Every structure is written in structure tokens, then in C-alpha cells.
Structure 1
Amino acid sequence: TGGIVGALTQAGISKEDASRYAEGVRRGGTLVSARVPDQDRARLDALLNERAVNLQDRSAAWQKSGWSDFDAASPPLSPEDIGRERELYGAGTRR
């Protein structure tokens, strides 16, 4: 598998989680991945938690609406669809 799912699984992410991350990007989200020294972990967590999305909850909502797995052939959402998605689910929450 190539593309984003292939890159994520090669980095050690499970196929299931890689599919969720890829779908989140397709739906207008941003994926941030970083390898940082342990001593910088708290700083990284503070940055990433600023507007984080709980991907387990979000993908469960997608599944209720019929989504089952990332399809690389599916086009990205339009700006209008992204706006509706963010209105429906929110753009991320401060933790």
C-alpha cells in the first residue's frame, strides 16, 4: 500500500488507525507527526492538544453515517463540505 496509509503503516501505525488518519485528512483535517526527545514531550503535547480531534470518536461518527474505510480513490471534500463537517463535529477542542 502506498500513499498516506502506506507511509503511516511503515512508520508503525496500525492499518486501522492509518485509515482513520487518512480519512481525517481527506475530510480537511491536518495530520502532524513528530519524533521528539523525551525531554521535549510536554512541549509537544501542549502544541498538539491545542485543537486536537479525538479520532476514535470522530471515526465512530463517520461509521454511523456509512463510512467504513479510507478509499484513496475518493476525492477530498470541497471547502463547502469541510465547512459543514466542522459545523457538525467541531474543528477540534482545547484540552
Structure 2
Amino acid sequence: LTGLGLMAIPGVGPVVAAGWLAATAVGAVGGAVVGGAAGGIIGAMTESGVPENDAHVYAEGVRRGGTMVTARVEDDLVPDAEEILKQYNSVDIARRRNEYEAGGWTGFDPTADVYTGDDLEGARGRRNV
């Protein structure tokens, strides 16, 4: 657990993070506007090359109690990394976006209340991961 840090991300709440995304998010949380999106987790992801519309879905997933795992790997190792991650209940981002939108969601809102207790259980119960 050495190197892990706890930070508060607006709209998400406390997050344990490490590595390159954590370092980028810390800068974004400090108020930077990155990639056309307000700072925080969206800014960190868009700065790292994640399309903004996907970054909103990932951020909303974390807000709803999900876990996001990222890895920065050499180009020739991307297929191996993707294969490893697919073995562990990875989420189809397009399907998850459709599920959120079917419920009226239009995008990640950093000012929204953080999911807690019953909200988290309800969100997890509705998901097919």
C-alpha cells in the first residue's frame, strides 16, 4: 500500500489512488481546466487521452461505488494488459453509458451528492458487471 494516497474528488468523494492518474488528478483537483472539462477526475482522464464522453461515464461509475483500474503500459504491451483486465469483470463502457442514460443521466456532475450507504447498495444491485 506504499505510495497510495487518499484524495477527495468533487462529486466522487474520497478516493484511494496511486501512480500517474493520481498525480494528474491532484493537479486537476487544484483547479486546472483540462481537455474542455472541469478539473478533477474528468480532467485527469482527458489529459491522459481518454475521450471526454467516456471520462464522464468512468467518473460516474466511481461516484456510484465502482472501482476504476488504470495502467500505463508500453504500446506493445497494450493487448496483454487489456486481456488481463478483461478477466476481472471489466465494464463495457458503451453499455454502461446506455444504462446510465436510460435512467436520465446526462453526464458526470461534480456538484452532485456523493453516493453513500443505501444509494451505493441500490446502484450495485442494478448493475450487471
| Higher-strand-fraction structure | 2
Distance 1:45 1:63, change over 3 A: same
Structure 2, gaps ≥5 residues long: 1-37
Are residues 1:12 and 2:46 paired?
no
User: Normalising by structure 1, what TM-score?
Assistant: 0.82
Name the residue aligned to 1:31. Answer: 68
Q: Structure 1 residue runs of 4+, over 6 Å off?
A: none
Structure 1, gaps ≥5 residues long: none
RMSD value over aligned CA atoms?
1.6
Percent identical residues:
37
User: Normalising by structure 2, what TM-score?
Assistant: 0.63
CA-CA distance at 1:40 after TM superposition: 6.8
Name the residue aligned to 1:80. Answer: 118
| In structure 1, C-alpha distance between the alignment counterparts of 2:59 and 2:77, rounded to whole Å | 29
